[in-house]
């Protein structure tokens, strides 16, 4: 799944705009500017609760077209003390989407002739510096950090396991004789089966016993741990917005 989503040449998210009416799905920020503005209200309230620090990292994971962040900055632009404290960090692995985000935030690249100093962009929406990173780990530490993740978790790759006569087997993809794809079950335990099924401690055992199939997202587990550790060290908070059933997931693939 990770290869299909983020392959540098043919990944689903890498080389095209998948959002909006002409794409594959529409997200809440694309429906109304009020969504991003309300997220901005939350971010500013958190900033005030932290004592209005002079410098803050505002991080968005998987920013799409940059619509949410653009609406946030436009709505907050009149509150100078807040916007002047911000350094925006967009965590995005797609070069195509980075360009769209650059346009949405109306960024200008600053001229910089000093050696060893990274060029950065400045959003003219609120005069706020903006940086792009492929992963959260590349975002600098040492400052209070406000993190926004809207429909990011549901884009992370998952492993699926199906209960069979041999116990839990990983659901995998194989190629048929006519070169089409189809699902198969692993003939032997895979590393994911041996490792991930032991990490389902969040699932109620009685619920799992009723299922013939279960889904596990290791990247979501690791990301949540990373967010908690970063906020624990540097201070701040995270707003994670997603949509789905509240329970053990057996099959979310579409």
pLDDT 10s digits, 65-122:
899 999 999 999 999 999 999 999 999 988 888 999 999 999 998 654 444 444 579 9
What's the average model confidence in pLDDT over 116-129? 79
Of residues 30 and 50, which shows the higher confidence score? 50
Q: What is the pLDDT of residue 117?
A: 40
Q: What is the pLDDT of residue 119?
A: 53
Of residues 241 and 195, which shows the higher confidence score? 241
98 and 167 housed in the same domain: no
Give the percent of the chain with pLDDT over 90: 46
Q: What is the pLDDT of residue 15?
A: 62
Task: Report d(CA 55, CA 76) in Å as an integer.
Answer: 16
Task: Report d(CA 141, CA 154) in Å as an integer.
Answer: 26
Q: What is the pLDDT of residues 1-33, one digit of tens each?
A: 676 666 667 666 656 666 655 655 677 888 899
Task: Report d(CA 244, CA 164) in Å as an integer.
Answer: 27
Query: Is residue 212 scored above 60 in pLDDT?
Result: yes
Task: Report d(CA 29, CA 64) in Å as an integer.
Answer: 10
Of residues 38 and 169, which shows the higher confidence score? 38
16 and 119 housed in the same domain: yes
62 and 179 housed in the same domain: no
17 and 77 housed in the same domain: yes
Residue 248 located in a structural domain: no
Q: What percent of the chain is helix, strand and coil (3-state, nearest 5)?
A: 35, 25, 40
**Intra-chain end-to-end CA distance of the chain, in Å:** 12
- Domain residues for the domain of 52 are 2-156+220-241
99 and 75 housed in the same domain: yes
CATH number at residue 52: 3.40.50.150
235 and 206 housed in the same domain: no
Residue 253 located in a structural domain: no
pTM for the full model? Answer: 0.82
| Total count of residues recorded for the chain | 254
């Amino acid at each position: 799944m990770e290869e299909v989503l983020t392959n540098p040449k043919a990944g689903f998210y890498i080389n095209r705009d998948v959002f909006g009416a002409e794409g594959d799905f529409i997200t809440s920020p694309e429906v109304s500017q009020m969504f991003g503005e309300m997220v901005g209200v939350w971010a500013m309230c958190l900033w005030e609760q932290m004592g209005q620090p002079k410098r803050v990292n505002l991080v968005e994971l998987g920013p799409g077209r940059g619509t949410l962040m653009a609406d946030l900055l436009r709505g907050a632009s009149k509150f100078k003390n807040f916007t002047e404290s911000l350094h925006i960090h967009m965590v995005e692995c797609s070069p195509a989407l980075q360009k769209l985000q650059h346009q949405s935030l109306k960024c200008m690249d600053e001229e910089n002739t000093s050696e060893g100093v990274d060029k950065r962009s400045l959003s003219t929406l609120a005069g706020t510096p903006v940086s792009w990173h492929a992963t959260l780990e590349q975002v600098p530490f040492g400052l209070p950090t406000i993190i926004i993740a809207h429909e990011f978790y549901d884009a992370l790759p998952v492993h699926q396991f199906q209960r069979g006569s041999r116990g839990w087997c990983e659901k995998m993809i194989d190629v048929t004789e006519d070169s089409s794809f189809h699902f198969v079950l692993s003939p032997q335990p895979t590393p994911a089966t041996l490792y991930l099924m032991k990490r389902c401690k969040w699932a109620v055992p009685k619920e799992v016993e009723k299922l013939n199939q279960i889904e596990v997202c290791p990247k979501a587990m690791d990301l949540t741990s990373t967010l908690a550790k970063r906020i624990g060290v540097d201070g701040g908070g995270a707003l994670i917005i997603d949509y789905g059933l509240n329970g053990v997931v057996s099959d979310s693939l579409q």
